[in-house]
Amino acid sequence: MVKLLASAGLRGLLAILLLASLCDLSLAQGTPPATPATLRAFELDIQAPTELKELLQRHLELLRYRELTDLSDSELARLLTSAQQDTREMAATLGFFSPDIRAEQHATPEGRAARRVTLTVVPGEPTLVREVHIQFTGAMASDGAAMAQRQQIQANWALRSGMRFTQAGWDNAKLQALRQMTAQRYPAGQLTDTLVDIDPEDHSAGSRSRWPRARPTDSGR
């Protein structure tokens, strides 16, 4: 009986050792090293302030090409030139009109990608709103009953002097003012002319908005 138990224990030990060996072999075979034919085109490292970095990570066209396995150096160079222009345009939407942008690529022989691309963006000084002009034309300009409405639109203008100019802030300010206009007496009102004058050297922006020729109605009073 003792010999039988010892024999069974030995067989169990051998089975465990065999299973462990098979697992090690399976893991080794399941993760083959990357070859030039399977490497991704590049990995992208964006060096920029958080707000701008997040915007670039969501919308930068360059990111679409990083999984390719047959991207040549000349094609990547062309894409990096376009990426710098895209970066400049996206920085402008946040109020940075004079950014310093550099794109560099380095070979990564032992990495998961063929190259490592570093996009560095120093946004510079933000552009601030210098002045705001809101002009009313037509019936709304001369309608005495609309005086309080005009004053409310001007007082509640969201993108005020001294604030950082952003495209989202500009769009939201116009939308809010238009809602205030159409909510009372001028339901069909629209903006006819809007202009932002950017001075990159002075880091300032002036805005102008003109309101349409609109006839007042009794609805919404």
pLDDT tens digits for 163-212?
999 999 999 999 999 999 889 888 888 887 888 888 888 888 888 777 55
Q: Where in the chain is the domain with CATH 3.10.20.310?
A: 43-122, 128-210
Fold for the domain defined by 43-122: Ubiquitin-like (UB roll) (3.10.20)
Neighbour-count burial of 23, counting CB atoms closer than 10 A to its CB (0-12 exposed, 13-18 middle, 19+ buried): exposed
Place of tokens 């920029």: 48
Confidence at 220, pLDDT banded by 50, 70, 90: very low
Q: Identify the architecture of domain 128-210 in CATH.
A: Roll (3.10)
Alpha carbon distances (Å) from 167 to 108, 129, 206: 38, 12, 13
Rounded CA separation 171/194 (Å): 10
What are the structure tokens assigned to 63, written together?
């990111």
The answer, yes or no, to whether residue 51 has pLDDT greater than 90, is yes
Rounded CA separation 70/93 (Å): 33
> Cα 77 to the chain's mean position, in Å?
22
Confidence at 127, pLDDT banded by 50, 70, 90: very high
